[in-house]
């Protein structure tokens, strides 16, 4: 009872005095050495800060991965949103053992526990009162946020954005137990599919309020631009039919499957924005680079079609970004895409089928009117995925959940 009451007293006092609500965020956040690491988390925090919330971030950085570059990362800094709101960021250090199987044990579990420990110790050092703490995903943020919330006797919230609960939580960490989430006040599911996974585990999450708030984008950055101009900026050929891909070059995302489909089609070329151990190569690849986040809308507006044959997602930012740029989309027919994509505004395919990917591209290549039609349809449907709307929805959920639990007590 004290857990919630103290946080609510702060919340009600802040409202009475006209002060800002203070929220602590825990998760992987960009730093000086990796300025685009988890930039989507940063964008959300910026949008929350712009609603008038005082935002503080704890984001541990791995000494073992950064090595000598760790010196470039400040332990504390202040960021400012484009609208001028302040975000205070702390970067404590921790030792990461990566995520490798050694003698049947995944070293990722030790990395997770060391991340949690660093975040909790940093929270103890910060001499500031918070009304709530928000963890970005269960691992690398969420479980640490619950412990911080319990220590400080404030409400804790988690964004459930894992692509696959089984592989990312159970296989790496272990099956969560009630004691792991004791004190958790609410969950923000990034898709209806993620919310359904939580419902299936009602013995764990049955009494915890859940809101569905899919990942969203900054509409002031992702909007329709002149294709010819965008191609010129990226050095892309002016008249070729180009299929675009944004994401990591890994099996799950499907860059190789897409390239195989493109190679089988006459007059179709591929452009790939991302990074990975093995980049797409070949005569049909007209572009393959890692781009900064603010360059992605230029890339998306330069291509004719966006294709992401991904096998699994929590909620895919790249798809929302492409939709906001009115790109015809070819992507997975699995449930994680259902919040935005339909049979009326996109082409849904089996992400593991090169033949289905090829046929989807072929349909759009041969029917420019249909290509334009579904691009306009998904653009209209994307309007609800504005990050400012999402941020306000999450803020309202946090405040409402805290009030409701107070009323019950």
Asked whether residue 149 is domain-assigned, the answer is yes
Q: Is the pTM of this model over 0.85?
A: yes
Structure tokens at 104: 């049947």
Q: Which of 115, 118, 134, 135 is nearest to 126 (CA)?
A: 118
Would you give the DSSP letter of residue 244? Answer: E
What's the pLDDT score for residue 17? Answer: 44
3-state class (DSSP) for residue 115: helix
Q: How many Å separate Cα 297 from the centre of its chain? A: 17
pLDDT, tens digit (0-9, with 9 covering 90-100), for 38-74? 899 999 999 999 999 999 999 999 998 888 889 999 9
Q: What is the mean pLDDT of residues 371-399?
A: 97
3-state class (DSSP) for residue 339: coil
Cα–Cα distance, 395 to 403 (Å, whole number): 12
Asked whether residue 392 is domain-assigned, the answer is yes
Taking the CA atoms of the chain, what radius of gyration do you get in angstroms?
A: 22
182, 258: one domain: no
Q: Between 20 and 324, whose confidence is greater?
A: 324
Q: How confident is the model at residue 10 (pLDDT cuts 50, 70, 90)?
A: low
What's the pLDDT score for residue 189? Answer: 94
Task: State the DSSP string of 248-286.
Answer: -SSTTTTHHHHHHHHHTSTTEEEEEE---SS---STTEE
237, 113: one domain: no
Asked whether residue 144 is domain-assigned, the answer is yes
330, 261: one domain: yes
261, 174: one domain: no
HSE value, Cβ hemisphere, 13 Å, CA-based, for 54:
12
Q: How confident is the model at residue 2 (pLDDT cuts 50, 70, 90)?
A: very low
Asked whether residue 221 is domain-assigned, the answer is no
What's the pLDDT score for residue 253? Answer: 96
114, 256: one domain: no
Task: State the DSSP string of 284-300.
Answer: TEEEEE---GGGHHHHH
pLDDT, tens digit (0-9, with 9 covering 90-100), for 168-181? 676 666 778 889 99
48, 118: one domain: yes
Q: How confident is the model at residue 191 (pLDDT cuts 50, 70, 90)?
A: very high
Asked whether residue 151 is domain-assigned, the answer is yes
Q: How many CB atoms lie within 10 A of CB 218?
A: 19
pLDDT, tens digit (0-9, with 9 covering 90-100), for 279-338? 999 999 999 999 999 999 999 999 999 999 999 998 999 999 999 999 999 999 999 999
Cα–Cα distance, 328 to 377 (Å, whole number): 9
293, 320: one domain: yes
Strand 54-58, strand 22-26: pairing: parallel
Asked whether residue 303 is domain-assigned, the answer is yes
256, 403: one domain: no
What's the pLDDT score for residue 16? Answer: 43
CATH of residue 346: 3.40.50.2000
pLDDT, tens digit (0-9, with 9 covering 90-100), for 195-223? 998 888 888 898 999 999 999 999 999 99
314, 168: one domain: no
pLDDT, tens digit (0-9, with 9 covering 90-100), for 101-157? 777 777 888 889 999 999 999 999 999 999 999 999 988 899 999 999 999 999 999
List strands edge to edge, sheet with 155-160: 76-80, 86-90, 54-58, 22-26, 132-136, 155-160, 184-189, 210-212
**Domain around 126:** 2-216+387-408
What's the pLDDT score for residue 8? Answer: 53
What's the pLDDT score for residue 37? Answer: 86
pLDDT, tens digit (0-9, with 9 covering 90-100), for 243-282? 999 999 999 999 999 999 999 999 999 999 999 988 999 9
pLDDT, tens digit (0-9, with 9 covering 90-100), for 25-36? 999 999 999 988
Number of domains in the chain: 2
Q: Between 242 and 314, whose confidence is greater?
A: 242
Cα–Cα distance, 28 to 118 (Å, whole number): 12
What's the pLDDT score for residue 162? Answer: 74
237, 352: one domain: yes
66, 131: one domain: yes
Q: How many CB atoms lie within 10 A of CB 327?
A: 25
Cα–Cα distance, 47 to 40 (Å, whole number): 11
- The average confidence (pLDDT) of the chain is 91
Cα–Cα distance, 221 to 194 (Å, whole number): 27
What's the pLDDT score for residue 4? Answer: 46
Q: How many CB atoms lie within 10 A of CB 113?
A: 15
What would you measure as the largest C-alpha separation in the chain, in angstroms? 67
Asked whether residue 367 is domain-assigned, the answer is yes
Residue 75: φ, ψ to 5°: -75, -25
307, 392: one domain: no
Residue 372 in this model has a pLDDT that exceeds 70: yes
Asked whether residue 222 is domain-assigned, the answer is no
Residue 86 in this model has a pLDDT that exceeds 70: yes
What's the pLDDT score for residue 99? Answer: 75
């Amino acid at each position: 009872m004290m857990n919630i009451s103290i946080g609510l007293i702060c919340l009600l006092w802040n409202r009475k005095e006209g002060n800002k609500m203070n929220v602590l965020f825990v998760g992987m956040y960009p730093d000086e050495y990796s300025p685009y690491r988890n930039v989507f988390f940063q964008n959300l925090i910026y949008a929350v800060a712009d609603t008038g919330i005082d935002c503080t971030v704890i984001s541990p950085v791995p000494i073992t991965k950064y090595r000598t570059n760790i010196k470039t990362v400040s332990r504390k800094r202040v960021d400012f949103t484009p609208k001028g709101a302040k975000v205070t960021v702390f970067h404590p250090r921790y030792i990461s053992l990566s995520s490798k199987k050694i003698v049947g044990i995944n070293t990722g579990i030790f990395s997770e526990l060391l991340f949690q420990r660093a975040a909790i110790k940093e929270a103890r050092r910060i001499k500031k009162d918070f009304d709530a703490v928000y963890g970005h995903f269960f691992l690398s943020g969420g479980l640490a946020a619950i412990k911080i919330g319990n220590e400080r006797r404030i409400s804790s919230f988690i964004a459930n954005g894992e692509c696959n609960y089984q592989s990312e939580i159970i296989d790496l960490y272990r099956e969560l137990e009630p004691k792991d989430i004791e004190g958790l006040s609410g969950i923000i599911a990034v898709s209806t599919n993620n919310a359904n996974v939580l419902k299936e585990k009602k013995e764990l999450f049955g009494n915890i309020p859940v809101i569905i708030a899919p990942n969203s984008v900054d509409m002031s950055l992702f909007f329709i631009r002149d294709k010819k101009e965008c191609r010129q900026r990226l050095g892309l050929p002016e008249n070729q039919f180009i299929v675009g891909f944004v994401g990591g070059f890994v099996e799950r995302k499907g860059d190789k499957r897409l390239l195989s489909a493109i190679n089988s089609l006459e007059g179709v070329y591929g452009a790939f924005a991302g990074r990975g151990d093995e980049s797409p190569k070949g005569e049909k690849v007209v572009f393959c680079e890692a781009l900064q986040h603010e360059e992605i809308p230029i890339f998306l507006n330069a291509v004719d079609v966006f294709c992401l044959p991904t096998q699994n997602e929590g909620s895919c930012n790249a798809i929302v970004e492409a939709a906001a740029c009115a790109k015809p989309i070819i992507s997975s027919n699995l449930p994680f895409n259902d919040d935005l994509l339909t049979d009326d505004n996109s082409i849904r395919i089996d992400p593991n089928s090169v033949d289905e990917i090829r046929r989807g591209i072929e349909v759009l290549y041969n029917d420019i009117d249909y290509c334009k039609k579904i691009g306009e349809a998904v653009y209209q449907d994307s309007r609800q995925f504005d990050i400012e709307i999402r941020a306000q929805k999450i803020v309202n959920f946090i405040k409402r959940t805290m009030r409701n639990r107070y009323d019950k007590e």
